[in-house]
Amino acid sequence: MSSNIPNITLSNGVEIPQIGLGVFRVNDPQVVVDSVVDAVKAGYRHIDTASFYGNEAAVGDGVRQSGVPRQDLFVTSKVWNNIRGYQETIDQFNRSLSLLGFDYLDLYLIHWPAAGYEENWRAMEDLYHAGKIRAIGVSNFEPRHIEHLMASATVSPMINQVETHPYLQQNEVHEYCEINHIVHEAWSPLGGGKSDVLSDPAIVDLAAKHHKSAAQIVLRWHVQRGEVVIPKSVHQQRIEENADIFDFSLTPEEMRTIATLDRNGRVGSDPNDEAFLKRSTTYDNQNHK
């Protein structure tokens, strides 16, 4: 299956495919491999993992079994909150690289703004300058976290990956990212299992009107907002469907209709929850994207 997934250009000129495959909570290595292979067959060229997910090795295997050269794929990983400190970050990056079986990463993110992320960033800047990472960014950062980071940083984040969907539209973060030339990347773009986004009457009506699925309507909304999206699925048909959103568009009025659905409906952890950020440094909970 050929792909017409467009790329978005990051502030340093590196291109990231606008749709990627998420693999959070996919624990069976063979399922991870099969999902990556199915996604690449469906035209995906972007895979998003993290050390916290425990499946980097399987992602690497999937990339190698996909039949597409490594340099034609865009792979992201992330450093978890239990890793803080300059050398610790270098060591964790090298562990991720070894598990993946790669000699470089396309994108490396600080997973959450837990205390001490400044030293993560200093290490990531050096890895970036050394050519080990093509782009660096953050995840789950509020504007205030980025402002704090930039007080000591020499390289600006190129991406901020945050929970985003019609019930949590992140308009303040979105506007901040646009102003500061940071690409907004959406995790849980369909609202997650705890959300009713895909059964919302407004979304269902638009799906019927366009002869598309509710998921395709929501992903199209993200794309038209200029966001990168990483929907997760282990089902080949759904993986294909999630990328098949470039043969229609939502009108400005339809985009405004979806805009009215925003309700601060967070399904994941809150980056303003200091107790979670502190607790997460002990690596004791796998409920946090």
DSSP per-residue letters across 47-102: EE--GGGT-HHHHHHHHHHTSS-GGGSEEEEEE-TT--SHHHHHHHHHHHHHHHT-
**Cα separation of 161 and 254, whole Å?**
25
Integer CA distances (angstroms), 106 to 17, 137, 166, 244, in order:
11, 11, 28, 24
How many helices (H) and strands (E) the chain has is answered by: 11, 10
Among positive and negative, which fits the CA dihedral 241, 191, 140, 83? negative
Strand partners, 160: 138, 184
Cα three-residue angle 103-105-111, rounded to 5 degrees:
135
Burial (0-12, 13-18, 19+ Cβ within 10 Å), 72: exposed
Active site residues: 53
Q: Which residues, at least 6 apart from 131, have a Cβ–Cβ distance to it below 8 Å?
A: 104
* Alpha carbon distance 93, 2 (integer Å): 33
